[in-house]
Amino acid sequence: MTLDLNWNWMLDGWITAVAVVCAIACALLGNFLVLRRMSMLGDAITHAVLPGLAVAFLISDSRASLPMFIGAAIVGVLTAFFTEWIRRAGKVDEGASMGVVFTTLFAIGLVMIVQTIDQVDLDANCVLYGSIELTPLDTIDVAGWQIPRAFCTLFLVMLINLTFVIVFYKELKVTSFDPSLAGSIGFSPAIIHYALMVLVAITAVASFESVGSVLVVAMMVVPAATAYLLTHRLHIMICFSILAAIISAVAGHVSAIAIPASFGFRSTSTAGMMAVISGLLLFLAAMFAPRQGIAVKLWNQLALSWHILGDDIVALLYRVDEKQANQRTEKAWIREVLLCSPLSFTVVMTWLRIRGEIVIKTNELVLTDQGQHRAQNLVRSHRLWEQYLLDQVGIDPSRVHPQAEQMEHYTDKKMRQQLHQVTEKPSIDPHGSPIPEERSTK
Amino acid sequence: MSATPAECAPSLESQSFAFESLVAVSEQTTNVWSQLQRLLFLQDYNTRVVLFGAAMLGGAAGVVGVFTLLRKRALMGDAISHATLPGITISFLAASIWGFDEKSLPLLLVGATVTGLLGVSTILLLRGLTKLKEDTSLSIVLSVFFGAGIALLGIIQQMPKGHAAGLESFILGKTASMVVSDAQLIAAASITCLAGCSLLFKELKLLCFDENFAGSRGYPIVKLDLILMASVVVISIVGLQAVGLIMVVALLVTPAASSRFWTDDLTKMTLISAGIGMFSGVIGAAVSALYPRLPSGAMIVLFCATCFMISMTLGVKRGLLVRSLRRLKINRSIGRQHFLRTMYEVMEQKQQLGLEQSITINDLLPARSWSKNRLATIVSRSAREEWITRIHQEVRFTKKGRFEAERLTREHRLWELFLIHHADIAPTRVDREADHIEHVLEPEIVAELELLLIEDQRELPQSPHGFDHWKQTDDSKNGNQKPNGNQKPSAEPPVSRARTGK
């Protein structure tokens, strides 16, 4: 399959580069936002900076980026400050105080812009959505190279963030996980908090100027959340989040070009596609994270239930054999006794036959020698447990069976030996059935 | 070149530029007064519609907002209103592919509702099944869904006939140019939400305050949660269309947060919140109709914010003013209690040492770590409240003051004894611990301590530690040999009048 990517290194290369540095700059700080439960702050700040931009514009009377940048950064920090103040002083829930602050600031900014609309040509589109696609056109001269301005700014911001995270790694870690401990050993949680807020504001402003506010929110939270799902250790989490950010940036731009092209359209928004790709990565992490993944957990449960069903089948065959009951051990009968679904029964039967624990003779299930081993030890565990529950726990003999039925699946040889000792080496269980001998080898 | 032009991206949040029709109207009428008259008497049909719509929306958002606020999901509305964008674009795309009218409002609303609900379920699933927290789930859904919407919009922009213009005006919100059908839609949605909330009031109350208890009583928590979230979705969507994305977030959050300052009662809180929402809606829309260039959505938000500021300062239950007054009162009472006890202890010391009984302010100054000014303030306040009498530098207990001082000293020492005997804290360290707790000891606890610690229950126990400050400074002043503080006091211990008075 050939995809006509229509890739132009001078344009698409730079777009990808800008996207990558932006994503890394955001993701670095995002880790701490996620850990401190302040994920919505990126969203709040990117909306709230509007009045800062408007005031900076009115004062400087130009669209030069430095005054705009300073104005936006100041308001961004103010947003964090007001949010914290309202939360503390007014005892308002963090989300609500954030909501109050950023909507109000946004409204003020909107009124300012509308009031001065004649003189101002402030493009709200660019402010709020940015245009990563246009960044390669606005270049500055660095040592003889024409480098996009956005790339330089974002690269600088990325370096600042990286330095901050590396230098204050310990402080950030302590204040994020245990603010009171941090306070008691002499780091001020408040100073670190506000330093982080200042950097978040600066990063948000620098990023949305070129890539838009959606991307800022997506890149701050989603890669960090992906990494959070994958690991418990902070430094690994930071590395994973950077990786996820890079993948989202590159794959985002490629898919922004490639996917619409396959339907006959031109490219679509890179920022949007980056957010989508990071969302996909998060979905994969949520499903398949080594221990916590939803799919992984489901699979483990299923595997365990199959294992237990296998145990139940061999134990049932053993008991039929033991009682020499005149019962034909047909599949249908076993399924009826054990109340299992056809699917899991088929799976488990296949597995037992592959392991050579069961063979089918004239339509009946018969234990092999190996199956006999497994069944005998299981029944032994069951009956030892029953004896133990009666002897040591004092449970009524008529009620020990269900408990033993659960424990038998988790009992290994060593535990059986201990049970054997503790219950004074019984030969029959409370119901009078003989307790079989231990079979050591499989 | 593979770039999308910037102007392709529509600005969801610059909705308020769509107020121009009203500006035109207002510029025709140069006289503000005549216009105010028209507004006040609702003569203008358009104004009537706009005010009605804004009021309905504000009220319903206020009510729903209270529940989301108490569920600590204030920003759910933000996430949801962003999550509707892909739905709108997908239904637009689908309609134009299958040849329907792609700008038909019901179709777009259905799309918005579907992805809005999808967003809610994603948030709930992320929170329930992974270790991600609420806020992270919210911002993930917000940014990823919105990003998908933006990407789809980028495609819609290129469609041969699909000018996104109509779509934009749908997304942008248009309070000022609200027409009857919009107001009807808002009214229908608001009434549905209000009816749902009032029918399920008890259930939602339980859900907000004690989810687990509600579950144990057999209420379907998940369904209730979904109903609540669905009403947030409905409000967000009609609000999105009417006042714009950020404004609807404000309507959902701010009135509810404001009402929390006024009351602890959910019913009252709901009513106050609805009132604030309606009020801000009406005033905001009216002001923006009166004056040119005040976008109505933004004005509504600003009036909400004003209400919030007022509530936060003046709210009678949790407002800043009330709380700081309360704190001031407590601080004063603590200061007074410390003063009275210190004075009593100094007096006791002097008795033990056989010194003259009169106490001067200079005696009191070294006994605690307080500044001269602070002590002077406390002394004059206590004198005003008739705990003590003051003659120049000398202070004396009044009857009431002595009674109170004895009670305080007694409670302080009881707690000290308790700490020494039952919490194994060194006698030198109990003074400070007891300092904190003595102000809040309940009579029942005092009675229990008495039973536990002292045999003669009428007796005021002696201090288990010496009075270091007092002793040292006294030493340095007089050079006298002082008896140890642990020594038996010569003076007869005063009886506990608190107890005999019972």
Q: What does the DSSP assignment read for A125-180? A: HHHHH--GGGGGGSEEEETTEEEEHHHHHHHHHHHHHHHHHHHTHHHHHHHHH-HH
Q: What is the 3-state secondary structure (H, E, C) of B8-66?
A: HCCCHHHHHHHHHHHHHHHHHCCCHHHHHHHHHCCCCHHHHHHHHHHHHHHHHHHHHHH
The more confidently predicted of residues B370 and B499 is: B370
Residue A246 pLDDT grade (very low, low, confident, very high; cuts 50, 70, 90): very high
What does the pLDDT read at residue B370? 82
B116-125, B427-436, B465-474: the lowest-pLDDT one: B465-474
The more confidently predicted of residues B218 and B453 is: B218
In angstroms, the separation between the Cα of residue B192 and the nearest Cα of chain A is 25
What does the pLDDT read at residue A237? 94
- The answer to whether A244 contacts chain B (CB < 8 Å) is no
Summarised one tens digit per residue, pLDDT across range A308-345 is: 999 888 888 888 888 876 777 788 888 888 888 888 88
**How many whole angstroms separate alpha carbon A338 and alpha carbon A365?**
14
What does the pLDDT read at residue B31? 60
In a domain, B30, yes or no: yes
Query: Rounded mean pLDDT of B410-438?
Result: 81
Q: Does residue B380 sit in the same domain as residue B482?
A: yes
**How many whole angstroms separate alpha carbon B124 and alpha carbon B233?**
14
Residue in chain A lying closest to B157 (CA)? A268
Q: Do B305 and A273 touch (CB under 8 A)?
A: no
**How many whole angstroms separate alpha carbon A361 and alpha carbon B359?**
108
| Neighbouring-strand partners of residue A140 | A147
The complex scores an ipTM of 0.85
Residue A401 in this model has a pLDDT that exceeds 80? yes
Query: Angle at which helices A213-230 and A189-211 pack, to 10 degrees?
Result: 130
Query: Rounded mean pLDDT of A145-171?
Result: 89
**How many whole angstroms separate alpha carbon B486 and alpha carbon B480?**
17
Q: Do B298 and A111 touch (CB under 8 A)?
A: yes
Summarised one tens digit per residue, pLDDT across range A170-183 is: 889 998 888 888 88
Q: Which residues of B415-428 are buried (b: 16+ CB within 10 A; e: fewer)?
A: bbbbbbeeeeeebe
Find the domain containing B261 and state its range. 7-318
- The answer to whether A245 contacts chain B (CB < 8 Å) is no
Cβ-based contacts of B153 with chain A (< 8 Å): 269, 272
Total count of residues recorded for chain A: 442
Q: Which of B318, B337, B354 is the last residue of a domain?
A: B318
Residue B9 in this model has a pLDDT that exceeds 50? no
Q: Which of B318, B348, B378 is the last residue of a domain?
A: B318
Summarised one tens digit per residue, pLDDT across range B82-108 is: 898 899 888 888 888 787 776 677 788
CA-wise closest residue to B411 among B456, B485, B461: B461
Q: Supply the DSSP symbol for A37.
A: T
Q: How many structural domains does chain B have?
A: 2
CB B51 within 8 A of CB B42: yes
Summarised one tens digit per residue, pLDDT across range B209-231 is: 888 888 898 888 888 888 898 89
In angstroms, the separation between the Cα of residue A385 and the nearest Cα of chain B is 34
The distance from CA B266 to its chain's CA centroid, rounded to whole angstroms, is 14
Residue A226 pLDDT grade (very low, low, confident, very high; cuts 50, 70, 90): very high
CB B2 within 8 A of CB A11: yes
Q: Do B301 and A212 touch (CB under 8 A)?
A: no
- The answer to whether A161 contacts chain B (CB < 8 Å) is no
Q: Which H/E stretch holds residue A333?
A: helix A331-338
Q: Do A126 and B6 touch (CB under 8 A)?
A: yes
Q: Does residue B264 sit in the same domain as residue B374?
A: no
Residue A124 in this model has a pLDDT that exceeds 60? no
- The answer to whether A273 contacts chain B (CB < 8 Å) is yes
Residue B25 in this model has a pLDDT that exceeds 70? no
Q: Which H/E stretch holds residue B391?
A: strand B388-391
Residue B204 in this model has a pLDDT that exceeds 50? yes
**How many whole angstroms separate alpha carbon B400 and alpha carbon B392?**
21
Best residue of A43, A98, A115, A200 to probe chain B, by most B CBs closer than 10 Å: A43
What does the pLDDT read at residue B473? 43
Q: Do A43 and B139 touch (CB under 8 A)?
A: yes
Residue in chain A lying closest to B10 (CA)? A125
Q: Do B13 and A106 touch (CB under 8 A)?
A: yes
Cβ-based contacts of A34 with chain B (< 8 Å): 133, 136
Cβ-based contacts of B77 with chain A (< 8 Å): 99
In angstroms, the separation between the Cα of residue B65 and the nearest Cα of chain A is 10
Summarised one tens digit per residue, pLDDT across range B307-323 is: 999 999 998 888 899 99
Q: Which of A7, A126, A229 sits opposite B131 (nearest CB)?
A: A229
Give me the CATH number covering residue B89: 1.10.3470.10
Residue A426 pLDDT grade (very low, low, confident, very high; cuts 50, 70, 90): confident
Q: Which H/E stretch holds residue A26?
A: helix A14-35
**How many whole angstroms separate alpha carbon B324 and alpha carbon B137?**
36
What does the pLDDT read at residue B482? 40
Query: Rounded mean pLDDT of B391-396?
Result: 81
Q: Do A229 and B295 touch (CB under 8 A)?
A: no
- The answer to whether A343 contacts chain B (CB < 8 Å) is no
Work out the burial of residue A42: count CB atoms within 10 Å of its CB; fewer than 13 is exposed, 13-18 middle, 19 or more buried: buried
- The answer to whether A53 contacts chain B (CB < 8 Å) is no
Q: Which two tokens stand for residue B342?
A: 């210190």
CB B12 within 8 A of CB B85: yes
What does the pLDDT read at residue A430? 79
Q: Does residue B330 sit in the same domain as residue B310?
A: no
- The answer to whether A87 contacts chain B (CB < 8 Å) is no
- The answer to whether A30 contacts chain B (CB < 8 Å) is no
CATH of A9-288, one of 1.10.3470.10, 3.20.20.10, 1.10.1660.10, 1.10.150.310: 1.10.3470.10
What does the pLDDT read at residue B488? 39
What does the pLDDT read at residue B395? 83
Angstrom distances, CA of residue A368 to CA of A18, A318, A335, A337: 66, 11, 20, 21
Q: Residue B53 carries which side chain, given as an amino acid letter? A: G
Q: Do B147 and A275 touch (CB under 8 A)?
A: yes
Query: Rounded mean pLDDT of A238-258?
Result: 92
Residues of chain A with CATH 1.10.3470.10: 9-288
Q: Which of residues 165-184 of A touch B (CB under 8 A)?
A: none
Q: Do A212 and B72 touch (CB under 8 A)?
A: no
- The answer to whether A268 contacts chain B (CB < 8 Å) is yes
Q: Does residue B391 sit in the same domain as residue B277?
A: no
A69-78, A318-327, B209-218, B279-288: the lowest-pLDDT one: A318-327
Q: Does residue B279 sit in the same domain as residue B359?
A: no
Angstrom distances, CA of residue A316 to CA of A74, A344, B463: 74, 17, 77
Domain range A297-367, CATH class: mainly alpha
Q: Which two tokens stand for residue B448?
A: 């229990």
Cβ within 8 Å of residue B319, ≥6 positions away: B261, B262, B311, B312, B313
Q: Do B16 and A96 touch (CB under 8 A)?
A: no
What does the pLDDT read at residue B38? 62
Cβ within 8 Å of residue B239, ≥6 positions away: B57, B61, B81, B173, B247, B248, B251, B252
A190-194, A248-252, A424-428, B460-464: the lowest-pLDDT one: B460-464
Residue A177: Cβ within 10 Å count: 12
What does the pLDDT read at residue B110? 87
**How many whole angstroms separate alpha carbon A385 and alpha carbon A388?**
5
Angstrom distances, CA of residue B261 to CA of B198, B315, B421: 22, 5, 44
| Neighbouring-strand partners of residue B390 | B395
Q: Which residue has the tokens 């010569």?
A: B490
- The answer to whether A95 contacts chain B (CB < 8 Å) is yes
Q: Do A228 and B295 touch (CB under 8 A)?
A: no
Cβ within 8 Å of residue B456, ≥6 positions away: none
Cβ-based contacts of A204 with chain B (< 8 Å): none
Average predicted confidence (pLDDT) for chain B: 78
Q: Do B14 and A128 touch (CB under 8 A)?
A: yes
CA-wise closest residue to A52 among A27, A34, A37, A72: A72
**How many whole angstroms separate alpha carbon A121 and alpha carbon A63?**
9
What does the pLDDT read at residue B310? 94
CB A147 within 8 A of CB A88: no
CB B248 within 8 A of CB B81: yes
In a domain, B460, yes or no: yes
**Half-sphere exposure of residue B160: CA atoms within 13 angstroms, side-chain side:** 2
Query: Rounded mean pLDDT of A392-397?
Result: 82
**How many whole angstroms separate alpha carbon A361 and alpha carbon B335?**
93
**How many whole angstroms separate alpha carbon B108 and alpha carbon B177?**
19
Q: Do B295 and A214 touch (CB under 8 A)?
A: no
Q: Does residue B63 sit in the same domain as residue B194?
A: yes
Give me the CATH number covering residue B344: 1.10.10.10
Q: Does residue B314 sit in the same domain as residue B331?
A: no
What does the pLDDT read at residue B268? 93
Q: End-to-end CA distance of chain A, in Å?
A: 52
A140-154, B165-179, B354-368: the lowest-pLDDT one: B165-179
Q: Do A269 and B151 touch (CB under 8 A)?
A: yes
**How many whole angstroms separate alpha carbon B432 and alpha carbon B322?**
29
Q: Does residue B267 sit in the same domain as residue B360?
A: no
What does the pLDDT read at residue B166? 54
The distance from CA A386 to its chain's CA centroid, rounded to whole angstroms, is 43
Q: End-to-end CA distance of chain B, in Å?
A: 93
In a domain, B29, yes or no: yes
Q: Which H/E stretch holds residue B182?
A: helix B180-199
CB B232 within 8 A of CB B65: no
Q: Does residue B293 sit in the same domain as residue B232?
A: yes
Cβ-based contacts of A7 with chain B (< 8 Å): 2
The more confidently predicted of residues A320 and A165 is: A165
The distance from CA B370 to its chain's CA centroid, rounded to whole angstroms, is 34
What does the pLDDT read at residue B16? 36
What does the pLDDT read at residue B478? 43
In a domain, B2, yes or no: no
Total count of residues recorded for chain B: 502
CB A151 within 8 A of CB A17: yes
CB A98 within 8 A of CB B139: no
Q: Which of residues 134-153 of A touch B (CB under 8 A)?
A: 134
Angstrom distances, CA of residue B384 to CA of A406, B77, B263, B401: 76, 55, 35, 12
In angstroms, the separation between the Cα of residue A131 and the nearest Cα of chain B is 5
Residue in chain B lying closest to A33 (CA)? B136
Cβ-based contacts of A103 with chain B (< 8 Å): 246-247, 249-250, 253-254, 301, 304-305
Q: Which of A94, A110, A257 sits opposite B16 (nearest CB)?
A: A110
Residues of chain A with CATH 1.10.10.10: 297-367
Beta-strand relationship, A364-367 and A358-361: antiparallel
Q: Is A329 helix (H, G, I), strand (E, B) or coil?
A: coil
- The answer to whether A9 contacts chain B (CB < 8 Å) is no
Q: Supply the DSSP symbol for A365.
A: E
Residue A442 pLDDT grade (very low, low, confident, very high; cuts 50, 70, 90): very low
In angstroms, the separation between the Cα of residue B366 and the nearest Cα of chain A is 30
What does the pLDDT read at residue A142? 74
| Neighbouring-strand partners of residue B251 | none
Residue B499 in this model has a pLDDT that exceeds 50? no
- The answer to whether A156 contacts chain B (CB < 8 Å) is no
Residue A128 pLDDT grade (very low, low, confident, very high; cuts 50, 70, 90): low
In a domain, B467, yes or no: yes
Residue A186: Cβ within 10 Å count: 6
Q: Does residue B232 sit in the same domain as residue B334?
A: no
Q: Do B8 and A269 touch (CB under 8 A)?
A: yes
Q: Do A96 and B295 touch (CB under 8 A)?
A: no
Residue B165 pLDDT grade (very low, low, confident, very high; cuts 50, 70, 90): low
φ, ψ dihedrals at B101, nearest 5°: -75, 110
What does the pLDDT read at residue A371? 86
The distance from CA B131 to its chain's CA centroid, rounded to whole angstroms, is 27
Q: Does residue B233 sit in the same domain as residue B140?
A: yes
What does the pLDDT read at residue B2? 36
Q: Do A126 and B17 touch (CB under 8 A)?
A: no
Q: Which of B318, B333, B359 is the last residue of a domain?
A: B318
Q: Which of A7, A11, A292 sits opposite B3 (nearest CB)?
A: A11
